[in-house]
Amino acid sequence: MAVDRSDPPLAASEAETLRAYLDYHRDTLLMKTDGLTQEQLSRTHPPSELTLGGLLKHAALNDDWWFCRVFGGRDTEPDWVPAGAFDEDDDWELHSAKDDRPEELRRIFDSARAAADAAIDRGLAAGGLDATSSMPSRREGTPFSLRWVVLHMIEEYARHNGHADLLREAVDGQVGE
């Protein structure tokens, strides 16, 4: 499935620009994983244990955590996370992805993205980028602004897209944006 990625606008509101950059980085990760088999998505590049499939599932979990749980206040795991998944493996999403077919990983990613986007929409409607999270920072005890959460997720995706670049090149030689 080809990924349609759009460049962020050169002149737009802050909220539109931040959302466009978030979508750009989400779509970049999808491009890096597009067209690969389950085996290819599960391939590591030692000494790292990271896989492209693991990065997809990790990104979905982070979208869900930050936008739906921390910001939005939902107190349950998404339906694709089995009960007790993290009891014995703090990196369950990274390690379990090898058992997921490409279509399932994409479904998980798309579902988490849609839920996260809905949480962003609610936040923007309620208070714009200054709207605050339901869950406070564990370190500081103060809530996060929606602006902070969106910027944090842009940073998270950008960092992992660098990993995805290297992993994809190791899988089949594909390089570039």
pLDDT given for residue 1 in this prediction: 63
> Length of the chain, please?
177
Total domains present in the chain: 1
* In a domain? residue 157: yes
Gyration radius from the chain CA atoms: 16
Structure confidence at residue 176 as a pLDDT band (50, 70, 90): confident
- Strand, coil or helix: what is 136? strand
* In a domain? residue 22: yes
- Listed residue (74, 78, 60, 70) closest to 145, CA to CA: 70
Question: Amino acid identity of 104?
Answer: E
- Strand, coil or helix: what is 134? strand
* In a domain? residue 154: yes
Q: Is the pLDDT of residue 3 over 90?
A: no
Is this structure's pTM higher than 0.85? Answer: yes
Q: What is the pLDDT of residues 35-54, one digit of tens each?
A: 999 999 999 999 999 999 99
Q: What is the pLDDT of residues 114-167, one digit of tens each?
A: 999 999 999 999 999 999 999 999 999 999 999 999 999 999 999 999 999 999
* In a domain? residue 1: no
Q: CATH number for the domain including 84?
A: 1.20.120.450
Q: Which domain holds residue 75?
A: 14-172
What count of Cα atoms within 13 Å lies in the side-chain half-sphere of residue 85? Answer: 16
Q: What one-character DSSP code corresponds to residue 89? A: -
CA distance 96 to 85: 9
